[in-house]
């Protein structure tokens, strides 16, 4: 299955809504599919590099006992397996799932590692290596935690060698210009639908953001036009009005990478959130700057005075050292490796062995501790801004990792606009993409020896933190967890330039280099991930819509008291203790007591409204594992007919029924029926009149929408520790979860 979610559009339903598709057309398509050669679906600019036929694709969860036959292709975009068993053949646009990657495709940048399995022994194949003999079984490990084994037992030796060597070479590019984003050629008629999401590459986007939050004393600066001041800052950004561009140019050489302090957001009370890097430690360079620029001892005070002058009360800003409070990128990567090993069992035996000590293994990854630290720091910063009316300056060495996480989370906690779909995308674009998060290095898009230790899923950690907030406050977000999972999957699709570069300057240089390399001297068409129509149909994009979102329900109950703003008391567990001190974990007994006391003290207030601030539980039972993202490919961990997907199904039906009743009331009151309003206008994936043609209790699994429809042959997991863990993963349990069970 591809990284994209599986389409659950019912074919009978589609045929009813598409009368132009006649039986003869279906028969013609069927004949073309069954009778034609095995070929991958290619995008404009995509080329087949190597192919091998009579390849067997095994199910890694079935100990290589069952496989399907087909052809394996390596293109400049993906690894594609086209099966010869096409009983559920593709009816053109009617069966579209992910429009870029089909069920058996793997984007090249999604490949984590490649192994050769021979006589029961597994050997990792180095990137770029050449295989001369037989491979046996090629096992591809993906960054989304899939394991895909292919056998070449019946494939001619030369074809086997060609396709394997092509995969080893093209799955690990050594430079950005080798990625498919620069080869994609959509043509002149491509419709790009990203108007609602600002890219912050034009001054109007920054001015619009200033108009939205109305901060006093801030302006758009053009000091970095043509990246003359800093290679890692955007060309425009927001600074205190009291600072001239001359002041910025004199101060920037003292800061790491020339990154002067950046404005992120302002609260209605006048307090602001600012990001700042550390001063340079290069002694020789510092001595030169002392003679030709502003003295280093004056730089930080000058910046802080300017920042403090924007506050209505001119109060002193609070400087928060994120290097002391948050996990380092290296620590995050180590925790991620352990989480990956836990969520990628080699087979059933490994899974059931881990199940016996699931909680201790999960705790041993330290991943949830990283999540806890980021949520705790972000909540404490939000409390200082909203409660203490204090401007906060986030300080990090280069300001491109944890400051992205914390600044974004603070805004999600305090600003309800960032919890809408467009608002969240705007936040990511502003705080991550144009502000210089090193996506190339952190996502390991390019395999260079000097960048091997730079990989770290900082962006995934941020999305996990947002997912935790979504679980605790489900009515406060317009989008669903499926949207967050899809966003993470899309970060590793080399077609999109959004998460491809380390900075805006890198993007500019790459485009100029690609333009010079082309014969027609035209710039490449770099696609944005925010145009979801490139990947999914209108129907499948409905999976992004949250049926519990208060903004949606307010349309039906505008006078309900829950639709007004409210202030939620802060969580007493949100502190600014150092990450090391908070990571010296207590005994299980004390840990449970701490989690229970925090739960009681925090959940006492009434449920927050959708547009109020959010202060989450960040320890103990308040944190959960994002199972849809990390465990969607493990069939033994799936439950049928229960869990969050079943709740989502019924929530969609209820909201859709509310929409229908509301329309009927409107028609009765006006005596003018509106023929344009139908049940589909509710924006729900499942509708009251046509719930996709299947019973949720029999068809939906806990991995929806990433798992096949129907039951699975698997060992019963009822009563195991992991099963009880998954049963508690419920969107309705945001008022607090039960204390974690022991490992006994």
Taking 90 as the threshold, does the pLDDT of residue 289 lie above it? no
Q: Crossing angle of helices 458-472/402-414, nearest 10°? A: 20
CA atoms within a 13 Å half-sphere pointing along the CA-CB vector of 245:
12
- For 596-604, what is the mean pLDDT? 34
Portion of the chain with pLDDT greater than 90, in percent: 57
Round to whole Å and give the CA distance between 614 and 608: 7
Looking at residue 496, the DSSP 8-state letter turns out to be B
Tokens representing residue 567 in the block: 């202030």
What integer pLDDT is reported at residue 456 of this predicted model? Answer: 97
* Whether the Cβ atoms of residue 289 and residue 254 lie closer than 8 Å to each other: yes
Cis peptide before 705 (omega within 30 of 0): yes
Given the DSSP bridges, would you call strands 392-396 and 272-277 parallel, antiparallel or unpaired? Answer: parallel
- Residue 117 scores a pLDDT above 80: yes
Geometric angle at alpha carbon 638, from 632 and 644, rounded to 5°: 85
| Distance, first Cα to last Cα, the chain | 36
Q: How confident is the model at residue 3 (pLDDT cuts 50, 70, 90)?
A: low
Is the model's pLDDT at 677 over the cut of 80? no
Return the higher-pLDDT residue of 601 and 623.
623
Structure tokens at 586: 């207590």
Higher pLDDT, 68 or 31: 68
Q: How far apart are CA 456 and CA 333, in angstroms?
A: 5
Residue 344 has pLDDT above 50, yes or no: yes
**Average pLDDT of the segment spanning 357-363:** 94
What is the C-alpha separation between 541 and 98, in angstroms, rounded? Answer: 11
Helix 367-386 with 458-472: angle, nearest 10 deg:
70
Quick one: which of 169, 118, 109, 162 has its CA closest to 139? 118
Q: What mean pLDDT do residues 312-328 have?
A: 96
Q: Of 197-201, 653-657, 699-703, which gets the smallest average pLDDT?
A: 699-703
Q: Is the pLDDT of residue 49 over 80?
A: yes
Q: For the residues of 305-357, what is the DSSP string, one character each?
A: HHHHTTSTT-PPPEEEEHHHHS--HHHHHHHHHHHHHHHS-SSHHHHHHHHTT
pLDDT recorded at residue 706? 85
Q: Indicate if the alpha-carbon torsion angle 146, 152, 153, 155 is positive or negative.
A: positive
Q: Where are the domains positioned within the chain?
A: 29-172, 203-277+297-543
Residue 659's pLDDT band (cuts 50, 70, 90): confident
User: Rounded CA gap, 654 and 648, in Å?
Assistant: 10
Alpha helices for 518-571 (secondary structure H): 550-553
Nearest-Å Rg of the Cα atoms of the chain is 27
3-class DSSP state of 681: helix
Tell me the average pLDDT of the chain: 82
> Which residues lie below 8 Å from residue 391, measured CB to CB, with a gap of 6+?
271, 272, 273, 274, 307, 308, 310, 311, 315, 317, 318, 385
Classify domain 29-172 at the CATH topology level.
PH-domain like (2.30.29)
Q: What is the pLDDT of residue 265?
A: 98
Q: Is the pLDDT of residue 568 over 90?
A: no
CB contact burial 357-376 (16+ within 10 A = b; e otherwise): ebbebbbebbbbbbbbbbbb
Round to whole Å and give the CA distance between 697 and 700: 6
For residue range 172-212, list pLDDT tens digits in order: 999 999 999 999 988 765 655 556 899 999 999 999 999 99
Which of 335-344's residues contact partners 24+ apart within 8 Å by CB, and which partners? Answer: 335/365, 335/366, 335/367, 335/369, 335/370, 336/367, 336/456, 336/457, 336/460, 338/364, 338/365, 338/366, 338/367, 339/365, 339/367, 339/630, 340/145, 343/145, 343/630, 343/631, 343/634, 344/141, 344/145, 344/147
Which residues, 6 or more positions from 671, have their beta carbon under 8 angstroms from its beta carbon? Answer: none
Q: Are 198 and 423 in contact (CB under 8 A)?
A: no
Give residue-wise pLDDT tens across range 441-453: 999 999 987 778 8
Q: Stretch 273-292: mean pLDDT, rounded?
A: 73
HSE at residue 423, side-chain half, CA atoms within 13 A, is 20
Burial-class residue 590 by CB neighbours within 10 Å (0-12, 13-18, 19+).
exposed
Least confident of 54-68, 185-199, 290-304: 185-199
Per-residue model confidence as pLDDT tens digits over 128-145:
999 888 898 999 999 999
Taking 70 as the threshold, does the pLDDT of residue 27 lie above it? no
For helices 367-386 and 358-365, angle between their N-to-C axes, nearest 10 degrees: 60
Residue 385 tokens, joined? 């801004």
- Give the lowest-confidence range in 377-386, 668-677, 678-687, 697-706: 668-677
User: What is the per-residue pLDDT for 639?
Assistant: 82
In contact, 561 and 607? CB cutoff 8 Å: no
- Please provide the DSSP assignment of 159-185 as one string: HHHHHHHHHHHHTS-SSGGGSGGGT--
Furthest-apart CA atoms within the chain: distance in Å:
82
The pLDDT of residue 387 is 94
Residue 732 confidence (pLDDT): 36
């Amino acid at each position: 299955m591809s990284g994209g979610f599986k389409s659950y559009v019912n074919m009978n339903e589609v045929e009813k809504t598409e009368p132009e598709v006649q039986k003869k057309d279906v028969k013609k398509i069927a004949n073309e599919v069954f009778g034609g050669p095995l070929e991958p679906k290619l995008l404009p600019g995509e080329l087949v590099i190597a192919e091998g036929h009579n390849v067997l694709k095994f199910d890694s969860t079935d100990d290589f006992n069952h496989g399907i036959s087909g052809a394996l292709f390596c293109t400049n975009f993906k690894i594609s397996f086209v099966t010869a068993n096409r009983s559920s053949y593709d009816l053109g646009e009617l069966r579209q799932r992910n429009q870029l990657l089909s069920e058996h495709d793997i984007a090249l940048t999604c490949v984590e590692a490649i192994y050769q399995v021979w006589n029961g022994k597994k050997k990792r194949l180095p990137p770029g290596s050449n295989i001369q003999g037989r491979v046996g079984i090629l096992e591809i490990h993906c960054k989304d935690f899939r394991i895909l084994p292919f056998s070449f037992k019946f494939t001619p030796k030369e074809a086997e060698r060609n396709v394997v060597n092509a995969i080893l070479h093209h799955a690990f590019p050594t430079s950005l210009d080798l990625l498919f984003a620069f080869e994609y050629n959509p043509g002149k008629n491509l419709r790009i639908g990203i108007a609602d999401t600002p890219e912050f590459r034009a001054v109007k986007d920054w001015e619009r953001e200033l108009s939205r939050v109305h901060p006093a004393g801030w302006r758009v600066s053009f000091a970095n036009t043509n990246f003359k001041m800093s290679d890692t800052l955007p060309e425009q950004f927001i600074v205190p009005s009291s600072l001239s561009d001359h002041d910025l140019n004199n101060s920037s050489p003292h800061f790491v990478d020339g990154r002067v302090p950046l404005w992120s957001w302002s609260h209605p009370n006048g307090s602001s959130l600012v990001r700042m890097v550390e001063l340079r430690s290069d002694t020789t360079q510092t001595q030169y700057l002392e003679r030709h620029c502003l003295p280093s001892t004056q730089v930080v005070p000058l910046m802080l005075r300017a920042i403090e002058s924007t506050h209505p009360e001119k109060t002193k800003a609070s400087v928060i050292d994120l290097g002391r409070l948050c996990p380092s990128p290296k620590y995050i990567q180590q925790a991620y490796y352990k989480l990956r090993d836990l969520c990628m069992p080699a087979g059933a035996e490994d899974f059931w062995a881990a199940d016996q000590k699931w909680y201790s293994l999960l705790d041993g990854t330290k991943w949830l501790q990283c999540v806890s630290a980021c949520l705790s720091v972000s909540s404490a910063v939000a409390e200082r801004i909203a409660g203490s009316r204090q401007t906060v300056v986030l300080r990090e060495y280069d300001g491109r990792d944890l400051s992205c996480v914390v600044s974004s989370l603070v805004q999600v906690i305090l600003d309800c606009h960032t919890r809408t779909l467009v608002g969240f995308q705007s936040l990511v674009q502003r705080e991550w993409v144009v502000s210089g998060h090193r996506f190339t290095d952190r996502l390991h898009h390019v395999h260079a020896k000097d960048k091997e230790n730079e990989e770290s899923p900082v962006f995934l950690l941020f999305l996990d933190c947002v997912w935790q907030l979504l679980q605790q406050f489900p009515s406060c977000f317009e989008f669903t967890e499926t949207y967050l999972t899809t966003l993470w999957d899309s970060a590793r699709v080399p077609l999109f330039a959004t998460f491809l570069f380390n900075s805006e300057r890198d993007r500019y240089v790459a485009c100029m280099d690609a333009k010079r390399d082309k014969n027609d001297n035209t710039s490449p068409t770099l696609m944005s991930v925010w145009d979801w129509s490139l990947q999914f149909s209108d129907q499948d994009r409905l999976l992004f819509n949250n049926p519990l979102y208060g903004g949606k329900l307010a349309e039906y109950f505008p006078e309900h008291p829950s639709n007004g703003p409210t202030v939620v008391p802060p969580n007493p567990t949100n502190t600014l203790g150092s990450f090391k001190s908070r990571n010296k974990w207590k005994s299980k007994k004390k840990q449970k007591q701490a989690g229970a006391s925090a739960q009681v003290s925090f959940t006492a207030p009434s449920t927050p409204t959708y547009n109020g601030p959010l202060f989450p539980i960040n320890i103990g039972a308040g944190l959960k594992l994002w199972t849809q993202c990390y465990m969607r490919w493990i069939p033994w961990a799936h439950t049928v007919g229960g869990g969050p997907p079943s709740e989502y199904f019924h929530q969609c039906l209820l909201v859709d029924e509310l929409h229908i009743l509301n329309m009927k009331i409107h028609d009765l009151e006006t005596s003018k029926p509106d023929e344009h309003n139908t049940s589909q206008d509710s924006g729900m994936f499942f509708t009251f009149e046509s719930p996709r043609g299947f019973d949720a209790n029999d068809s939906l699994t806990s991995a929806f929408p990433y798992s096949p429809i129907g039951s699975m042959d698997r060992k019963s997991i009822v009563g195991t520790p992991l099963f009880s863990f998954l049963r508690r993963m419920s969107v309705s349990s945001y008022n607090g979860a039960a204390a974690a069970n022991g490992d006994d």
